[in-house]
Structure 1
């Protein structure tokens, strides 16, 4: 197994593999999952069309951001653990996991999808920063998984003084550089554009989604749930998010982040491709080298969804980090 092949396997799992399996056209959208998302009573959803929010609990604010193709329901167990101590603001991105796409998603084009009002992740970033301000959230802590971890870093580099401690779950500041640390955002554009075109062609089949989910989590019930969420996602939204992840490099900007960060990584799913704990940790260490206050911890057995696959370890890590850096107020 070459380093390049190992890197591709890691990237596929980290971004849920959506670009690695040719999509099959669906004649109609699948039924939405049962976990509906409701906005907070005092919130104006029209102010942030790129995501929906539900708010639960009381205490210091804690924002939870899911990964590609999944709704905020991936954090249900995490919210159950923390809502007695923190006010949990759970995001669901437009077009993911049965959530309706934002209006602009229908107008994505190949000529100018990554700039202006048609961009996706930059819109999420700006709208979430505005949400933090309008809701008067005082330096909220953020837990982000995969794409959500990337967004957490991007929020912090954009406005370091507005964001509190970060918990980054199996995510990197520049996905395209897994294969080549010297990769630049400009050089990654042709590859990313090809992936976007392939993914926009249609949804993956249910069988493809289930096969993908087996590499992300070990529990079969969770695999079925992830597959349903993937099937319920809007292909154009997913494709654009993937494109922007592959063409946005945050590594040089990490030095602007002033808050402590806990980076939780997975490696067990990549072992069949030749990965070791040391080799996977080295990828994380290289990408986060410029982040001033960070600690990297690797799960011994968990796959990409660490909050599902290695829950005891996950909560041990998050409890200790929040207790030391963002203690609940009595």
Structure 2
């Protein structure tokens, strides 16, 4: 993954939030509910799928995915507390670790709503949470789709930083969103989500993500896991193949019979922005098999 793209995420916590929250006017929801850890919009009928966005993103990143799948699946799209206009969670609720707080809250949501055969889909931080959930033996979770998330982001960045001087000198939100998506039509919404996120929550989440390392736990996975990766985002600083190998190294401990990989040809970190049709096709193929 591109070093400058990932390192500059830590600067999100320096951005002053705007007063207007970013919400999509195109989303058609059957129901919505607020919880301490996240807001949820539920769309469609069928096998349940939980959609988890990344740092400083809203559920709007899943709009195309929901449009394509809601006739056959029930989509539970989360907007995490503190991100994209959603109020931060109370400190006493979060406790010592925001990521673990979110992981446990998702499990509680599944329990309270009596969901079965759930597929967890996550992007970036959401993908890491999805992998983490897959390492635990929860019978309600049938499969996991990880979109450009890593089990040990800090370990990867540490090794890259040791061999690269290409570190960001300053934080420019517009440059950041351009580094994460080629699709210019997405840049405005990405900026809105970022600027309406609570900087303390974003900074804390990124810091915890940098410290998290669940690579050893991946060997405990006993359900199908699809990773949709974006090796092209590292260009021109690293080749497609070398970046592809980073994913394979990070995910090496997933048992082979449960591991599925798909690589976007041109997409940056927001695969759903740059190659939406291809990404949804990969998701649909995986869901048909699982």
Pairing 1:150–2:128 present: yes
Q: 1:195-220: CA deviations, max 9, x gaps?
A: xxxxxxxxx98xx2211000111122
Pairing 1:212–2:176 present: yes
- 1:29-40 alignment runs, 5 A limit: 29-35=18-24
Q: 1:178 to 1:38 in 2, by over 3 A?
A: same
Q: 1:178 to 1:59 in 2, by over 3 A?
A: same
Aligned to 2:188: 224
Displacement of 1:57 after TM fit?
A: 0.3
Aligned to 1:256: 220
Question: Which portions of structure 1, spanning 4 or more consecutive aligned residues, are displaced by more than 6 angstroms?
Answer: 36-40
Pairing 1:141–2:119 present: yes
Q: 1:154 to 1:272 in 2, by over 3 A?
A: same
Aligned to 1:96: 83
Aligned to 1:61: 48
RMSD of equivalent CA atoms = 2.6
Q: 1:21 to 1:75 in 2, by over 3 A?
A: closer
Aligned to 2:63: 76
Tell me the distance in 1 between the aligned counterparts of 2:29 and 2:98: 20
Contact 2:231 2:241 in 1 (8 A): no
Tell me the distance in 1 between the aligned counterparts of 2:12 and 2:132: 28
The secondary structure found in structure 1 opposite 2:235 is: helix
TM-score (ref. length: structure 2): 0.88
Tell me the distance in 1 between the aligned counterparts of 2:30 and 2:116: 17
Aligned to 1:296: 261
Tell me the distance in 2 between the aligned counterparts of 1:121 and 1:12: 23
The secondary structure found in structure 2 opposite 1:96 is: coil
Contact 2:120 2:145 in 1 (8 A): yes
Identify which of 202, 213, 234 aligns with 1:270. 234
Q: 1:207-241: CA deviations, max 9, x gaps?
A: x2211000111122211110111011000100111
Which structure 2 residue ranges, 5 or more long, are not aligned?
Answer: 160-169
Pairing 1:238–2:202 present: yes
Which structure 1 residue ranges, 5 or more long, are not aligned?
Answer: 1-6, 108-115, 182-203, 326-330
Q: 1:42 to 1:239 in 2, by over 3 A?
A: closer
Contact 1:39 1:52 in 2 (8 A): no
Tell me the distance in 1 between the aligned counterparts of 2:208 and 2:126: 13
